[in-house]
Every structure is written in structure tokens, then in C-alpha cells.
Amino acid sequence: MERYLPLLALLVAFWFLAIRPQQQRAKRQREMLDALAPGDRVVTIGGIYGEVVEAGERVLVRVSEGAEIEFRPSAIAEVLPGDVPDDDDDDAPEDDDDASDDDGSPDDAPDDAPEDDVS
């Protein structure tokens, strides 16, 4: 029996380090999906933000006004807290500069960079 003790200890350690955390993550994911309700703001596994319109066998997510996408519940990565602001940056200044200066060189090129000599 003593010779099996190290093997048994290794199996117990593997259980607590690998299998149990995965079971806990799966349980939290299941609980999150069961609690999913219309009006919840969510992020999908593909990075799409939206608001749940319907939840059931399929989850209908409104991504913008007039645009809704249907997902499997397993595609919902997380439910966002209610106080997360919208991603709409209507107040943000627009960057209408193109990628070149007045002299036609790209913005990231130094002004004193030597020009290519093609002969």
C-alpha cells in the first residue's frame, strides 16, 4: 500500500490543480447563461458588444439600432455590469488627418530622412 501513496498524492494534486478549476469555471458559465435576461449588456466570444433582446435556446443580441444577431448561448463570453458606458463616442474628436504631411511624406517618417536614390 505504501508504494501507491505517491501515485495517489499525484492524482489528488492533479485533481485540485487541473480538473476542479475547470469544473468551477463551467459551473459559473452555466449560472451566467441561466441568469441571462433581456436588457443585459453582453460580450460574445467574438468580441461583439450588444444588448440581449431574447434569451432561450438562442440569444438575440441587438448590436446597434435596427441590427440584431442571433447567437448560441455558449457564444456569450460575459455579462457586463449595468454601469458600463456605451461604446458610442459621439463626443470624441474626429481624426481627419490623412497619413501624410504637407510634403507628402508619411507621418512616421522623419523629416530629415534621406530620400531613396534610384539610378
CB 76 within 8 A of CB 42: yes
Rg over alpha carbons for the chain, rounded to the nearest Å, is 26
Q: Please tell me the pTM assigned to this model.
A: 0.56
Tens-place pLDDT, residues 78-116: 999 876 555 555 555 555 555 555 555 555 555 565 666
CA atoms within 13 A on the CB side of 69: 15
CA atoms within 13 A on the CB side of 42: 31
Retrieve residue 102's grid coordinates. 504637407
**Does the pLDDT at position 34 exceed 80?**
yes
Q: What is the mean pLDDT of residues 49-75?
A: 93
